[in-house]
Structure 1
Amino acid sequence: MADVMTTTTWAPRGAWAGILQSGHRGTAGKSGVRVEARDGLGIASLIAPASGDAPLAAAMKARLGLDLPSTPAVASSRTHAAVWAGPGQWLLVANDRTGFADALQALSDVAAVADQSSGRAALRVSGAAVRNALAKGCMLDLHPAAFPIGMAALTSIAHIGVHLWRAEDGPEGAVFEIMVARSFAGSFWSWLSASVAEFGCDIIANEASTGRG
């Protein structure tokens, strides 16, 4: 009897699939925190050569209109962000992956480039109580005087390594972008979901985030 061949179709899933669900969590009433899954981003690490970052800086400016931060900061446009990740190192973040591979190819002549799009899990957290929620596990002082708009940091939250930066304020206050290794997404959400519960939290997860896309 001939063997029966079976074919398995693998469908991509967002980093928050099976973890985040849209809705409200914690205290009823007006929410003090808003959490939005940031699936579908293009993410890559850029490392300048030992000879310096001038060629990379010029390429980033010409192609994406971004200035490379030389301090723990983020430079943003409508479509991309360059986030400081250490001396001579950055994360390039694109709001979507359209044309991202071409951009990375263009930069590969002037930097070591590694696509991290499927290896990171990203959230945008905001709201009037967002600092109080993050303070339960974050080692940094996130007060506006100490952590202004545009500042970035590599730190730990609840003993999990994170890349954190502050975006432009939204209608309800401060906005923070948080990125963790995808393998820690579940652990990070376990901590964050407990930390925001007392303030009430609105969760926004798109189809890719929930695994339906």
Structure 2
Amino acid sequence: MAETAISWAPRGAWAGIAQPGFFGAKGPAGIVATLLHGFGLATLIAPPDEAIAVSRVVEARLGIVLPETPKIAQVGAYDAVWAGPDQWLLRAATRDGLSALLDEFAAGAAVSDQSDARALLRLSGPHVRDVLAKGVMLDLHPAAFAVGDTAMTSVAHVGVHLWRLPDGPDGAVFEIMATRSMAGSFWSWFAASAAEFGCEVSTAPVLKPSRG
């Protein structure tokens, strides 16, 4: 019996789940959803009483001061997102050189590459808060959730990590991240929630808007 060669091609976290296009109510899009890809991502956990030391190493290497509260900090091509006491997500615009960088940080912290383990979505549009209000059990009013704020919560029983970026032409901009294994469940909720407003879906690499 002849052997069959199998080729494993890389697949993005949204592959087979979401695709560019338009769905829902006709007319101007009330929601703009951008499926983000190509970024590098790692968890960074400081040992007990070593958070300051870890932050100094990251600052010396990348210029980022790791947030001590639920915030996101960005310098150049890198983000540091608070993920709990003495824990952060380190995101890079691309994966180039990420492995070597993580090796440097692993000398003083617990580091795990999560680049293929998360699905990331950027949401904007005039009805973005209306959609999120259907599932996010947080007050996302500008007075309560400012630019740069981040939170870990759940949407339709799916654990998510979300943060607010600087406002765009259509108002507030959010990014929301779920584990890859739950991307389908999250998208099912999102598609049902966004349909009444009309949703334009696109795909793009992580871009770095300036942050105030």
Tell whether the structures are fold-level matches, with TM greater than 0.5. Answer: yes
Matched, 1:167 2:157: no
Q: Which residue identity is paired with 1:59? A: V
When residues 145 and 206 of structure 1 are mapped into structure 2, their CA distance, relative to the original with a 3 A threshold, is closer
Q: Which residue identity is paired with 1:61? A: E
Q: How high is the TM-score relative to the length of structure 1?
A: 0.93
Question: 2: CA distance between counterparts of 1:66 and 1:95?
Answer: 14
Aligned to 1:21: 19
What stretches of structure 1 move > 4 A for 4+ residues in a row? Answer: none
**Structure 2 residues without counterparts, runs of 5 or longer:** 206-212
Kindly report which structure 2 residues correspond to 1:25-174, keeping only aligned pairs within 5 A, or say none: 25-174=23-172
Question: 1: CA distance between counterparts of 2:31 and 2:61?
Answer: 36
Report SS of the residue matched to 1:205: strand
- Deviation at 1:78? 3.2
Question: 2: CA distance between counterparts of 1:142 and 1:24?
Answer: 25
Question: 2: CA distance between counterparts of 1:6 and 1:206?
Answer: 35
- Deviation at 1:205? 2.6
Q: Which residue identity is paired with 1:121? A: A
Report SS of the residue matched to 2:183: helix
- Deviation at 1:51? 3.0
- Deviation at 1:108? 0.7
Q: Which residue identity is paired with 2:43? A: S
Instruction: Report the more deviating stretch, 110-119 or 52-61.
Output: 52-61
1:105-151 residue CA offsets vs partner (Å, 9 max, x unmatched) = 11111210000111111111111110000100110010000000000
Question: 2: CA distance between counterparts of 1:37 and 1:78?
Answer: 21
Question: 2: CA distance between counterparts of 1:136 and 1:160?
Answer: 13
1:146-197 residue CA offsets vs partner (Å, 9 max, x unmatched) = 0000001110011110011111111111111111010100110010011111
- Deviation at 1:4? 2.2
Instruction: Report the more deviating stretch, 47-56 or 155-164.
Output: 47-56
Contact kept, 8 Å, 1:165 with 1:177, in 2: the verdict is yes
- Deviation at 1:89? 0.4
Identity of aligned residues (%): 54
- Deviation at 1:93? 0.8
- Deviation at 1:65? 1.3
Q: Which residue identity is paired with 1:181? A: T
- Deviation at 1:206? 5.2
Aligned to 2:3: 5
Contact kept, 8 Å, 1:121 with 1:182, in 2: the verdict is yes
**Structure 1 residues without counterparts, runs of 5 or longer:** 208-213
